[in-house]
Amino acid sequence: MKKTNDLYGHDMGDSAIKEIASIILKVISKEDIAIRYGGDEFVIITNYSSKDLSTKITDEVFSFLNTHIPQVIIKIRNDSLNFFGFYV
């Protein structure tokens, strides 16, 4: 988020974090916990005991974010931003 804050200000960075968090909350179950770990990192805590199920929810979150990031970018600011990345 440093790049976003530097380019567009902290209000814009805060808006980006809120939008991404709301997208994550739409995908995970009510039993899961999503936490902003720091900067632009989020952690999802689940009750899934298998790596396959954990990977599945990660894939679902990434898929949903990739589908909705253009809408988030437009909603946050009416120009093109190229600073979003996803890591597992």
CATH number for the domain formed by residue range(s) 2-76: 3.30.70.270
What does DSSP assign to residue 31?
Answer: T
**Tokens matching residue 64:** 């949903």
**For residue 21, pLDDT beyond 50:** yes
Q: What's residue 6's pLDDT?
A: 81
Query: What is the mean predicted confidence (pLDDT) over 14-36?
Result: 86
Query: What is the mean predicted confidence (pLDDT) over 47-55?
Result: 76
Q: Look up the pTM and report it.
A: 0.65
What is the residue-wise DSSP string for the chain?
A: -HHHHHHH-HHHHHHHHHHHHHHHHHHS-TT-EEEEEETTEEEEE----SHHHHHHHHHHHHHHHHHHHHHHHHHH-SS---------
**For residue 86, pLDDT beyond 60:** no
Strand partners, 35: 43
Band (78; pLDDT cuts 50, 70, 90): very low
Q: What's residue 71's pLDDT?
A: 58
